[in-house]
Amino acid sequence: MSEENQNPDLTDDEKRLFADLMPEDLKEIMDSGFNRRHFLKLMSIGGASVLAANLLGAEQVLARPLATEQAAATAAIENGVKLSFNINGASRSLTVDSRMTLLDTVRERLQLTGSKKGCDHGQCGACTVIIDGQRVLSCLTLAATCEGKKVTTIEGLANNNQLHPMQEAFIKHDGFQCGYCTPGQICSAVALLGEAKKGDASYVTSNIKQTGSAQQLSEDEIRERMSGNICRCGAYPNIVAAIMEVHSGKPVDQHFNFAG
Amino acid sequence: MRPFKYTRATTLPSAIKELSGNAQSRILAGGTNLLDLMKEDVERPEALIDITHLPHSAVKSLSQGAAKSGVLLDALGKNSETANHLLIRSQYPMLSQAILAGASAQIRNMATNGGNLLQRTRCPYFYDVAMPCNKRTPGSGCGALEGFNRMHAVFGWSDKCIAVHPSDMAVALAALDAKVLAQNEAGQQRRLTFDEFFRLPGDAPEKDNNLQHGDLITGIELPASNFADHSYYAKVRDRSSYAFALVSVAAGLQLNGKQISDVRVAMGGVAHKPWRALTAEKMLKGKEATEANFKAAAKAEMAAAKPHEYNKFKIELGERAIALALTNALNYGS
Ligand SMILES: Cc1cc2nc3c(=O)[nH]c(=O)nc-3n(C[C@H](O)[C@H](O)[C@H](O)COP(=O)(O)OP(=O)(O)OC[C@H]3O[C@@H](n4cnc5c(N)ncnc54)[C@H](O)[C@@H]3O)c2cc1C
Ligand code: SF4
Ligand code: FES
Ligand code: FES
């Protein structure tokens, strides 16, 4: 079966989303499926942020549960641990295998696939999430330890279709290529803002004994504080520019220009 | 990962009781080392006792009145809160620097002070269960001795194991004469100096330290510091951040005019435990704080080093790192 002819099988949520974002396309989508042509059309709608807003909204509804919670729960769970926690503002209760990491739980059980598994060993930062205001690695966090905690993943940063300023800055500065490290980079950068406000130090802070006030970070400081997030595509200069813009509250020049 | 029973401890004594009851149980603190090793099948606990929900405060002043006195770091305190605590930044800046030189912001938010001391070596043969390693499987041999041993020890090793202790925090703690507080099922509190706590590999490299199963680290005590004005933690690694040390040096100077009245030098990345550079310290005491004296002391310290095929570079690197740390300690903040 060719991609063109696949029945899109849209849910009510999806119909509402498409009706919202691109009413003129909805009928065609219903008739012919959400094919590559439409994707390309989306790309040409306008600025990158329109695209990102669309993709972001679309991802939320398209990422609908593949397997129901019920089905997952009946899969072999050893040493089950009952768990209640808050994820992106919603309370969730589930039983997890004691071995289950928070990363696998959000991806496989809660269908929040924004957080990425790069290494699964604490070495890359792609799985970074924010727990009770602190950035941590979800691949080295057992879900069982999250009882009563408040977890924020990349899916929880935007306010409906209003992106978090850090997300907007990453788009403006093209802070990614393949995008695999990006959810972790953005969660990490959002938490970094809070740490700088508190006056936290880093290894490159020039005088660690000077305590107290909020930090105005240099590029070197941002690089050191973001060193736990590896980008295999090497988008670092643009990532630093994006973070600098949000942290300083002042526009930062883009390192690139759009062609023509 | 192999199946294990998970328990959330509600009190410290109940955690110790649970731990003592099963030789195959382990404490779960930040999990940043233990879970990694469980995924690699190096650690195979039957039960994990999660102590992260127990109440604690990262840093307590031990001061009574105006007298200068020490601090108590809670074993459950996070590395990041400890490094950023105002008492630590102002009175033990080399400790803040050492913690912040390690791992990443995310990992430091998870890692605990107790877990940091107990993290295991990063020797690649220890991590690879297909390789011989006396530390992981006593009697199986040491893959690193005749293998790729660039990261390994130059002091205090034995032919059974040449691994190094990977912690940065522990190097500063060694320089600051920290003591480890441990508690067992009988309720006994022990206070161990770093010399009593850590050990060299000898014939039993499977033991990183002198704790017994069932001992829980409750805290780390630091005496009042005389090194706040002149201290530095220097770390040399393959990339400028988020990498373990090839060599690191914690240095502190107490000065009387230009004369060194007291001095501390400890090294990381060179031995099975944080290495106090006692030869260098002895040479420097009473001398003038000059770069020439720093260099001479560094040379004397490293003269006793015994390298392996791939880590001969650690001798000159060690000399330079000691001299650099002392020079930066002398000039810090000015
Ligand atoms: C990618 C990566 C890079 C890193 N880079 C560095 C670095 O550059 N420098 C550095 O110093 N470190 C580095 N680390 C190591 C990190 O600092 C340690 O993993 C961390 O400090 C361990 O603390 P934890 O609380 O997570 O310990 P856990 O993993 O929870 O525990 C470690 C061990 O200690 C035991 N334990 C924990 N707490 C107690 C207690 N109170 N009483 C008794 N037993 C206890 C556990 O049972 C376990 O055996 C790195 C780690 C990773 C993953
Ligand atoms: S150096 Fe120690 S940890 Fe490494 S292989 Fe040899 S015995 Fe194992
Ligand atoms: S996936 Fe967690 S750090 Fe790489
Ligand atoms: S954008 Fe590809 S890994 Fe960072």
pLDDT tens, position by position, A123-174: 999 999 999 999 999 999 999 999 999 999 999 999 999 999 999 999 999 9
Looking at the complex, report in whole angstroms how far the Cα of residue B161 sits from the nearest Cα belonging to chain A: 25
- Residues A187 and A241 both lie in one domain: yes
Nearest to A194 by CA among A215, A220, A221: A215
Q: Positive or negative, the Cα torsion across A203, B194, B223, B107? A: positive
pLDDT tens sequence for chain B (334 residues): 999 999 999 999 999 999 999 999 999 999 999 999 999 999 999 999 999 999 988 899 887 666 678 999 999 999 999 999 999 999 999 999 999 999 999 999 999 999 999 999 999 999 999 999 999 999 999 999 999 999 999 999 999 999 999 999 999 999 999 999 999 999 999 999 999 999 999 999 999 999 999 999 999 999 999 999 999 999 999 999 999 999 999 999 999 999 999 999 999 999 999 999 999 999 999 999 999 999 999 999 999 999 999 999 999 999 999 999 999 999 997 7
The pTM (predicted TM-score) of the whole model is: 0.90
A201 touching chain B per CB within 8 A: yes
At A57, the pLDDT band (50, 70, 90 cuts) reads very low
- Residues A121 and A171 both lie in one domain: no
Domain annotation covers residue A36: yes
On the question of pLDDT at A246 being above 90, the answer is: yes
Ligand 3 geometric centre to CA of B30 (Å): 15
For residue A44, what pLDDT is reported?
40
CB contact under 8 A, A208 and B96: yes
Least confidently predicted of A57-66, A68-77, B20-29? A57-66
Residue in A with minimal Cα distance to B6: A98
Mutation test of ligand 2: which of B162, B200, B270, B309 has the most ligand atoms closer than 8 Å to its C-beta? B162
- Residues A28 and A85 both lie in one domain: no
What are the φ and ψ backbone dihedral angles of A35, each rounded to 5 degrees? Answer: -105, 180
Q: Which residues of A touch B58 (CB under 8 A)?
A: none
**In order of start, what are the domains of chain B with their CATH numbers?**
5-53 (3.30.43.10), 231-330 (3.30.390.50)
Mean pLDDT of A91-112: 98
- Residues A37 and A84 both lie in one domain: no
Nearest to A248 by CA among A228, A211, A208, A221: A221
B50 alpha-carbon distance from chain centroid: 22
CATH (domain of A95) = 3.10.20.30
Ligand 1 geometric centre to CA of A103 (Å): 19
For residue B69, what pLDDT is reported?
85
Q: Which residues of B touch A211 (CB under 8 A)?
A: 86, 89-90
The residue type found at A132 is D
On the question of pLDDT at A209 being above 70, the answer is: yes
- Residues A34 and A109 both lie in one domain: no
Q: Which residue has the higher pLDDT, A92 or B333?
A: A92
Q: Positive or negative, the Cα torsion across A116, A117, A123, A128? A: positive
Q: Which residues of A touch B96 (CB under 8 A)?
A: 201, 208
Which structural domain range is residue A103 located in?
Answer: 73-132+141-153
Q: Which residues of B touch A124 (CB under 8 A)?
A: none
- Residues A177 and A244 both lie in one domain: yes
Q: Which residue has the higher pLDDT, A14 or A229?
A: A229
Ligand 4 geometric centre to CA of A183 (Å): 10
For residue A33, what pLDDT is reported?
47
For residue A74, what pLDDT is reported?
53
Distance CA B168, CA B165 (A): 9
On the question of pLDDT at A73 being above 70, the answer is: no
Q: HSE on the CB side for B97, CA within 13 Å? A: 30
Domain annotation covers residue A253: no
At A62, the pLDDT band (50, 70, 90 cuts) reads very low
Ligand 4 geometric centre to CA of A211 (Å): 35
CB contact under 8 A, A137 and B6: no
Max CA pair span of chain B: 61
Domain annotation covers residue A53: yes
- Residues A148 and A207 both lie in one domain: no
- Residues A128 and A107 both lie in one domain: yes
Domain annotation covers residue A68: no
At A213, the pLDDT band (50, 70, 90 cuts) reads confident
On the question of pLDDT at A20 being above 70, the answer is: no
- Among B32, B35, B96, select the one facing A201 at the smallest CB separation: B96
Domain annotation covers residue A158: no
- Residues A236 and A170 both lie in one domain: yes
For residue A212, what pLDDT is reported?
73
Domain annotation covers residue A257: no
For residue A6, what pLDDT is reported?
44
For residue B182, what pLDDT is reported?
98
Question: If residue B74 lies in a helix (H) or strand (E), which one and from where to where?
Answer: strand B71-74
Domain annotation covers residue A29: yes
For residue A76, what pLDDT is reported?
86
- Residues A16 and A38 both lie in one domain: yes
Pocket of ligand 1 (CB under 6 A): A 122-123; B 26-34, 36, 75, 102-103, 107, 110-112, 114-116, 118-119, 166-169, 216-217, 244
- Residues A186 and A214 both lie in one domain: yes
For residue A257, what pLDDT is reported?
67
Distance CA B84, CA B123 (A): 30
Mean pLDDT of A240-253: 97
Domain annotation covers residue A159: no
For residue B82, what pLDDT is reported?
97
CB contact under 8 A, B35 and A79: no
Ligand 1 geometric centre to CA of A231 (Å): 24
Distance CA B20, CA B28 (A): 14
CATH (domain of A173) = 1.10.150.120
CB contact under 8 A, A207 and B333: yes
Mutation test of ligand 4: which of A231, A236, A238 has the most ligand atoms closer than 8 Å to its C-beta? A231
On the question of pLDDT at A193 being above 70, the answer is: yes
Residue B168 neighbours by CB under 8 Å, 6+ apart = B98, B99, B101, B102, B233, B235, B245, B248, B268
Report how many domains make up chain A: 3
Q: Both tokens of residue A50?
A: 């329109």
Q: Which residue has the higher pLDDT, B241 or A12?
A: B241
For chain B, how many residues are written? 334
